[in-house]
Amino acid sequence: MAFVRILVLIWADVLAFYAMWMMMLYLTNVWKLNFTHAAAIINVFWGLMSIMLLPMQYIVDTFMGNYWMLTISSFAYSAGLGFLTMSTPPVLAKATGTCSAYEPQCIGQGQQILFYTALVLIAVGLSGHLVSLGTFMAEQFVEEVLDNFTTRSCVALFVGSYIAILIPIGGVLAISYVKLWSIRFGIPAICTVVATILFLSGSCSYNCVRPQGSSLTTMFRVLVAATSKLFHKRPNDASQLYERRDPDIVLLPHSRRLRCLDKAAIILPTQPLDEQEEKRWKLCTVTEVENTKLSLRMIPLCATLIFCGVVSSIGNTYFIEQANHLKHKVGRLSIPTVMLLWFYDQGKQQFANLYYKIANWLGGSGSRQYAPTIGIGVSMIFAILCCVTAAKMEIKRLDVVESHGLIDKPDERIPMSIFWLLPQFILLGAVDGILENSICALLIDQVGPSMVTYVVHFVLGVAGLGNIASVLSVYVVGKVSTHGGSKPSWFQDTLNKSRLDKYYWTLAWLSAVNLGVYIVVAAFYRYRESEVEDDQEAPTYDGTVGPFEDNARCCCC
């Protein structure tokens, strides 16, 4: 079935996520990089991947379509994981006869070029899948249900879906016990190639939708048209602005905010209307202007999410490095580090479900439109709690290190269970789970339907900026902590000599400041329903607002 062939591409996503999640250990254990240097590489990767989502979506809607984006991104995945495998010392050593040990002296220029090229290709593959996989799968699912709606096909679809998901998850758990990094990266590379071949084998049976154009182009048109009429006076009567009646388009009423953009809908008296309508970059409709306004008004709220990206970035970097040398055994059973990712996912899922229940309750009490903004604020509170918890756990870890004389022995196991880190991983999952779902709900409710996808990608890009900003924050905090060179920096060559707890405390109070800024911005934010002018009629709906649906999720959540 076409649906199962596409679902198999989840292999690539799960395995690539695993490879990048374990990258901190690879860079610190094999390359012997300073943990802040390794974290910088990983955070720049995740930041650039998130920023790429918006241009990728524009390319899909304007030129390429979902099928070709999935095809190119799948090839990028396969090549990226293949290059990542080849960048490990033993692979090239067999061909060149050079050093094959997992040591920094065995990492030559060739391995470094392959490694950084692999990161770029994996970022392209991951962003391409996030943009197109859900949409393309939905197109095929609808097609198959309409054409072949039988009990057997539904059972096959159900079983195939679970098999396609369980295989990579089981593979991740199995790979975690493999010691050789070339095999750890090689197995995901092979599975990704197989998934790509299975996807391409059904190319003739897919329902491919041609690009229909991008609503982001409409926003550009509004900005260009408004700029071109910068010195024209806006009419006092909004009814004099240009609007085109189209039964297929839901017309939006004129609003008071960002009136400078209304100039894009000014009808020039010196030219015939027919001629102006042909120049789409000179004249836009009121609905197009209003959709642009709704999107631009989200920018102040989105800007406050940059610091949430800074907090999220510590999960797959410094948290992993903390767990690296802790005690992994429970009795005789050795617990892989990747199990912490499972607890993170559980925290993310369970707190997201709790958010839906609270949102339903708020919807029933008539406060539906405020639920998403409250959810974002709650996620910021959890970010503070996460940083505070991580600081206290790091203080405990440093006490154990000092009491056992392990400060100058960074490679020794610390007699402290890895499960001490569970609270901070679960709280970080709560931050990401509530934040993602709140943002999705807010955008669906407040932004024009044509722009929801783009604004979601924009928000993720803002969070990606937070990942990159975390690199700058570590550098600045490290410089400030030296007090002009009179004291040692909080970030030393090894984690045991560093004071990561003080960095977590810094993130905690900065998160509190960010929460205060967010509350001010959210207080001045005017919701979509309250912006309609009194003399304008609202769109044709009965005005009732139902509760949040438990199954109403954005594709990014």
Residues 359 and 411 in one domain: yes
Q: Identify whether 359 is part of a domain.
A: yes
- Tell me the β-bridge partners of 255: 532
Q: Give the pLDDT score at 128.
A: 92
Residues 281 and 430 in one domain: no
Residue 326's SS3 state is strand
Backbone phi and psi for residue 475, each to the nearest 5 degrees, phi listed first: -65, -45
Q: Give the pLDDT score at 163.
A: 58
Q: Identify whether 24 is part of a domain.
A: yes
Q: Identify whether 59 is part of a domain.
A: yes
Distance from C-alpha of 123 to C-alpha of 129, rounded to nearest angstrom: 10
DSSP 8-state code for residue 246: -
Distance from C-alpha of 237 to C-alpha of 533, rounded to nearest angstrom: 12
Residues 159 and 274 in one domain: no
Residues 73 and 44 in one domain: yes
Strands (E) in 68-136, as ranges, are none
| Residue 232: domain span | 215-289
Which of 125, 42, 28, 19 has its CA nearest to residue 464?
Answer: 42
Q: Give the pLDDT score at 276.
A: 77
Q: Identify whether 144 is part of a domain.
A: yes
Residue 179's SS3 state is coil
Query: Could you tell me whether strands 329-330 and 333-334 are parallel, antiparallel, or unpaired per DSSP bridges?
Result: antiparallel
Which of 206, 283, 280, 291 has its CA nearest to residue 241?
Answer: 283
Residues 333 and 417 in one domain: yes
Residues 368 and 240 in one domain: no
Six token digits for residue 498 = 């560093």
Q: Which of 238, 272, 289 is the last residue of a domain?
A: 289
Residue position matching structure tokens 């990728």:
56
Q: Which of 289, 316, 339 is the last residue of a domain?
A: 289
Residues 61 and 25 in one domain: yes
Backbone phi and psi for residue 362, each to the nearest 5 degrees, phi listed first: -65, -35
Q: How does 530-554 read in b/e, with b if 16+ C-beta sit within 10 Å?
A: ebbeeeeeeeeeeeeeeebeeeeeb
Q: Over the Cα atoms of the chain, what is R_g? A: 26
Residue 289's SS3 state is helix
Distance from C-alpha of 424 to C-alpha of 389, rounded to nearest angstrom: 6
Q: Which of 261, 289, 317 is the last residue of a domain?
A: 289
DSSP 8-state code for residue 64: I
Find the largest Cα–Cα distance for the chain. 86
Residues 140 and 281 in one domain: no
Residues 19 and 104 in one domain: yes
Q: Identify whether 272 is part of a domain.
A: yes
DSSP 8-state code for residue 541: S
Residues 285 and 302 in one domain: no
Q: Identify whether 553 is part of a domain.
A: no
Q: Give the pLDDT score at 57.
A: 92
Six token digits for residue 461 = 């890009």
Residues 81 and 115 in one domain: yes
Q: Give the pLDDT score at 75.
A: 93
Average pLDDT across each block of 10 residues of the chain; the chain has 557 residues. List them in order: 74 79 88 91 93 92 90 92 89 67 83 93 92 84 51 51 59 74 87 89 83 86 89 78 72 78 84 78 85 86 90 91 85 80 88 82 63 89 95 94 87 88 94 89 79 85 91 91 82 89 94 94 74 39 38 36
Residues 264 and 330 in one domain: no
Six token digits for residue 506 = 């810094």
Q: Identify whether 550 is part of a domain.
A: no
- Helices (H), ranges, 233-338: 273-278, 286-296, 299-303, 306-312, 318-324
Q: Give the pLDDT score at 554.
A: 35
* pTM for the model: 0.85
**How many domains does the chain fold into?**
3
Which of 456, 449, 426 has its CA nearest to residue 349?
Answer: 426
- Tell me the β-bridge partners of 333: 330
Distance from C-alpha of 331 to C-alpha of 338, rounded to nearest angstrom: 18
DSSP 8-state code for residue 415: E
Tell me, what CATH number does 69's domain have? 1.20.1250.20
Half-sphere exposure of 335 (CA within 13 A, CB side): 19
Q: Give the pLDDT score at 95.
A: 59
Six token digits for residue 35 = 């943990």
Query: For the chain, how far is it from start to end, CA to CA, in angstroms?
Result: 26
Distance from C-alpha of 80 to C-alpha of 351, rounded to nearest angstrom: 34
